[in-house]
Amino acid sequence: MSCLTAFLFGGVERRGNDTTPSSGNMQDTSVFSTTPADKPSPSPSPSIWASRPWTPVRSEDSSAIIGWTKARVSYLDSSPLEQQTLDVYIPLPPEHSTTPPPAGTLPLLPGKWIIFIHGGAWRDPKILSSAFIPAARRLLATNPGEISGMASLNYRLSPHPDHPSSSPDDAAGRNAHHPDHIADVLSGLSFLQQLAPDMEYVLAGHSCGATLAFQVVMRKPERWGLPGMQIRLPRAVVGFNGLYDLAGFIARPDEGFEDLREAYVEFTRGAFGDDESVWRDVCPTTAADPGGWVGEWAAGGGQKVCLVQSPEDTLVPRGQLEGLWAVLEDAGKGEVVVEEREASGGHDAIWMGEGMAPVLVEVLRSLDQ
Ligand SMILES: Nc1ccccc1C(=O)C[C@H](N)C(=O)O
């Protein structure tokens, strides 16, 4: 490995040659910058980052160390909430093949990042950032060599009628309403991008996490009513069994999915309130002016969308993928490559098994070809 750069808070520690860790063709036009911000972007606190140790990720077959992880790092300095944390994974840097990197550092191999947003209908307290563990483990085990780092984000949830909160902090983290979910996702991305400036990344999401991934590229933060933040946009968005048109499903559930209408109404109201125009506005298939956001995102060059839908999914119909596909084909006008990849298993089987990892690697590899 010719280049190993370690980022140390309070000063940059560089070893090896002095090239940047990313492949460097990120275009400035894909950075949404808004100034002046009425609140500053959250800045990573060295003590919070350093307070979480690197722990080994081990191969299931040989128990050899295949990478390092920091779990549940707060991405907002002032927040005690589990829901405002993220997990980071890094492939093995040569210098740290058996001993953990110092807790205050983020050793970076060259390559791109994969960042994951979990699903759970904006409310399920049992589906968290840990949903990415099977994919992270598989990606580290196969070590494709193009990955600089990976992260999985938590975000505040809306209340779930079947799962009362278990503590005051749990209640505080589970009383979110739009735009809280996307605000947290953007805060998490901003935190990561201060750790790894200039990162190029694939943003992937499952179910409502796929909706959130598109919300990142759909609008500038202030259009969600959020304070300005400097967010570098992803090169690719990958949606696994994603929700892209809530209002459309609720108005006309797909054949065979009619029984789910009430559940969709319940979680949509829980996350976005009763105003149906908001339901349309927050979804990539139905938001006004798709040409606008696709064009702004595509201005960076080389952007890609990959949509994945398991045929056996009993919670999300294929119509969700098809609706978004049609809009992107029309609005993207060839500027954004849209592709579909196969998957199998039920709604959650795609992340519980190892189905996401091969798709993510293929998308990552295809970006600079
Ligand atoms: N009904 C759905 C339809 C589509 C997507 C997810 C769901 C869920 O139920 C997710 C989650 N397990 C929940 O308890 O809210």
SS3 string, the chain, reads: CCCCEEEECCEEEECCCCCCCCCCCCCHHHEECCCCCCCCCCCCCHHHHHHCCCEEEECCCCCCEEEEEEEEEECCCCCCCHHHEEEEEEECCHHHCCCCCCCCEEEECCCEEEEEECCCCCCCCCCCHHHHHHHHHHHHHHCCCCEEEEEEECCCCCCECCECCCCHHHHHHCCCCCCHHHHHHHHHHHHHHHHCCCCCEEEEEECHHHHHHHHHHHCCHHHHCCCCCCEECCCEEEEECCCCCHHHHHHCCCCCCHHHHHHHHHHHHHHHCCCHHHHHHHCCCCCCCHHHHHHHHHCCCCCEEEEECCCCCCCCCCHHHHHHHHHHHHHHCCCCEEEEECCCCCCCHHHHCCCHHHHHHHHHHHCCC
- pLDDT tens-place string over residues 80-122: 999 999 999 999 988 888 999 999 999 989 999 999 999 999 9
Q: Which residues are catalytic?
A: 207, 313, 347
Is the distance from the beta carbon of residue 315 to the nearest atom of ligand 1 less than 6 Å? yes
Percent of the chain at pLDDT > 90 equals 70
Is the distance from the beta carbon of residue 267 to the nearest atom of ligand 1 less than 6 Å? yes
* pLDDT reading at 9 higher than 70: no
CATH number at 5-17+31-366? 3.40.50.1820
Domain boundaries, the chain: 5-17+31-366
Residue 292 or residue 36, greater confidence: 292
Is the distance from the beta carbon of residue 263 to the nearest atom of ligand 1 less than 6 Å? yes
What distance in angstroms lies between residue 264's CA and the mean position of ligand 1's atoms?
8
ipTM: 0.93
- pLDDT tens-place string over residues 189-227: 999 999 999 999 999 999 999 999 999 999 766 768 888
For a pocket test of ligand 1, which of 117, 118, 124, 309 has the largest count of ligand atoms closer than 8 A to its C-beta? 124
Is the distance from the beta carbon of residue 150 to the nearest atom of ligand 1 less than 6 Å? no
